[in-house]
Structure 1
Amino acid sequence: MDVGRFGIWDHNLARTARTEAVETVAELEELGFGTVWLGGNSSVEAAAPLVRGTSRIIVANGILSIWEHEARDVARERAELEATHPGRYLLGLGASHSALAKNYHKPYSAMVAYLDALDAAEVPVPPKARVLAALGPKMLRLAGDRARGAHPYLVTPEHTAEAREALGPDALLAPEVKVVLSEDAARARAIGRGVLEMYLKLPNYTNNWLRLGFTEEDFRAGGSDRLVDATVVWGSPGTVRARLAEFHEAGADHVAVQLLEDDPEKLPRGGWRELAGVLGLG
């Protein structure tokens, strides 16, 4: 399963009408992206038609919440898809957040139990076919030990370097990175703050930023310029290429780009075409 150097992360694809979603992912495949990540607590069921409607691109969950999907059902659905389209689907698992998930408790222990259940299923999900949403060192080590690797969200190159050390040299490291294709600082930061707003209320992210050297002051008023500029890549095509290269240089195997535009509920298909050109894909 070759996820490629770059992929697309998007929270709208999983809830877009099936025909349009398949057409969109087929275009991403032709543009040269290696993987499409379905954000926003997606499912195997949402990924399946995108796998079946394309020929090469890997379809991954970014992420499937362990609180909302029974492990035995996930294992069965994944086995059915793998039987007809081997090596095309990557199961991304996450423990979500206490503010978003019902029955949230002891996320690390819950993830271990979920992986145990996947291993014990009638057709197990092998470690090489799953990745974990991981930020802290403990969950990162688990991703290296019991999965193919990690899919950290909303991180910096500095975090990527730390994640690589925690995972070891052989595990897959595929961070999500936000990008605005604009050289207008005011516009790029405004778009970035609009997206960061909800994450500033979630301790998983703020605690991770504190570990990286940010302070409580960086979380005020929608996020400081320092925080926005560290977590949202923007600028000229050359700047965007250089900043994304920092993640690869820090140890990432794959970068899952979440392209941000003015309307967060619209599929940025034109922007993805532009991005493919910026990255020299195709």
Structure 2
Amino acid sequence: MPVATGMTTLGPVGAATPAFGTTDSAAAVAEAVRLEELGYATVWVPGGQGDNGALVPELVRATRRITVVNGILSVDRVRAADVAARYRDLAATHPGRWLPGLGGAHGARPLATLSAYLDELDAVVPAAQRVLSALGPRMLELARDRARAAYPFLVTPDYVASARELLGPDTGLAVLTTVVADPDPVRARDTVRSGSLRFLAGVPGYAANFRRMGFTAADTADLSDRLIDGVTAHGDFDTVVARLREYRSAGADQVVVSLDGLPREWQRDLVTALA
């Protein structure tokens, strides 16, 4: 598997958890410390409607080695000047510990919007220290040219293989994956259908990417078994690990596991299994 040199400090498995989206910063800090002790090398702070970067300095200062990444800061809502100021402060005291994850450009020209935003950051936040949310080929190309890594969600291993080919060997690829710890496939799929997929399936960017991956309009509209099985991991522990290894084998440098609802022992054992 290609090894992206830009991803060497992020490790093979990252953690995303609702705890980092809470307004209770003490709970979020405690969770970051716990995940660091379990062996996670990277924690991903979930996106939102506002500036979720405000929690970042607390997470960085409370931990010793983990990398903190936003997944993602919306460039439509968070000023580039604010990202640059926060990055400058943390780089002075904790260099390399925070990577701004950026995306969320909407409107008529999202690619141009994001490119202009990156232009504003260039003087302070180098390309090697930022991550871009990316699904389509043009966004992946932008990540290749102007970021350390691309960060897709709800994708198949085949998509990962294609993305790796487009990105080349020197740009990282961190894939956010929904995991359901349930050996009953019917129940597991129902759990997925009740989550974020039912909202995201109608978002134009995700819908277009489902089509590119070969899913039909009916798959997307019905949240079919085929779609769910294609873009998530569910089953018992060994089945989930095998599935996540498919993403790694296809070219993902890091699998970012959504820990919501996962047993505590799984959260620990996944680090060892995917190392």
Q: TM-score, normalised by structure 1?
A: 0.89
Secondary structure class of the residue paired with 1:13: helix
Aligned to 2:118: 115
Tell me the distance in 2 between the aligned counterparts of 1:106 and 1:147.
19
Gaps of 5+ in 1: 99-103, 262-267
- Report deviation, 1:191: 1.1
- Report deviation, 1:272: 4.4
Aligned to 1:198: 199
**Offset from partner CA, 1:221-256 (integer Å, 9 cap, x none):** 3x0001111112011211111100011111111111
- Report deviation, 1:274: 1.9
- Report deviation, 1:94: 0.6
- Report deviation, 1:157: 0.8
- Report deviation, 1:16: 3.9
Gaps of 5+ in 2: 1-7
Aligned to 1:216: 217
Tell whether the 8 Å contact from 2:40 to 2:271 is kept in structure 1 after alignment: no
Secondary structure class of the residue paired with 1:198: helix
* Runs of 4+, deviation exceeding 3 Å: none
Tell whether the 8 Å contact from 1:40 to 1:62 is kept in structure 2 after alignment: yes
Query: CA-atom RMSD, angstroms?
Result: 1.6
Tell me the distance in 1 between the aligned counterparts of 2:38 and 2:254.
16
Secondary structure class of the residue paired with 2:100: strand
Q: TM-score, normalised by structure 2?
A: 0.91
Q: 1:6 aligns with which of 9, 13, 16?
A: 13
Tell me the distance in 1 between the aligned counterparts of 2:57 and 2:162.
33
Q: 1:40 aligns with which of 38, 41, 47?
A: 47
Aligned to 1:160: 160
With over 3 angstroms needed to count, the CA separation of the structure-2 counterparts of 1:157 and 1:272, relative to structure 1, is farther
Tell whether the 8 Å contact from 1:10 to 1:258 is kept in structure 2 after alignment: yes
AA matched with 2:71:
G
Q: 1:68 aligns with which of 72, 77, 82?
A: 77
Tell me the distance in 2 between the aligned counterparts of 1:276 and 1:14.
21
Tell me the distance in 2 between the aligned counterparts of 1:238 and 1:26.
27
Number of residue pairs matched by the alignment = 264
Secondary structure class of the residue paired with 1:87: coil
Secondary structure class of the residue paired with 1:60: strand
**Offset from partner CA, 1:2-22 (integer Å, 9 cap, x none):** 111001123441324111111
Q: Percent same amino acid at aligned positions?
A: 44
Secondary structure class of the residue paired with 1:188: helix
- Report deviation, 1:279: 4.3
Tell me the distance in 1 between the aligned counterparts of 2:94 and 2:229.
40
Secondary structure class of the residue paired with 1:44: helix
Aligned to 1:248: 248
Tell me the distance in 1 between the aligned counterparts of 2:60 and 2:108.
33
Aligned to 2:125: 125
With over 3 angstroms needed to count, the CA separation of the structure-2 counterparts of 1:9 and 1:278, relative to structure 1, is closer
**Offset from partner CA, 1:71-94 (integer Å, 9 cap, x none):** 111101111011111111111001
AA matched with 1:18:
S
Larger mean CA deviation between 4-13 and 175-184 belongs to: 4-13
Are 1:276 and 2:268 matched, yes or no? Answer: yes
- Report deviation, 1:260: 4.1
Indicate the structure whose relative CO is greater, using CA pairs within 8 Å and at least 6 residues apart. Answer: 2
Tell whether the 8 Å contact from 1:181 to 1:235 is kept in structure 2 after alignment: yes
- Report deviation, 1:43: 3.1
Tell whether the 8 Å contact from 2:38 to 2:271 is kept in structure 1 after alignment: no
**Offset from partner CA, 1:19-68 (integer Å, 9 cap, x none):** 11111110000111111111123533221101111111111000000001
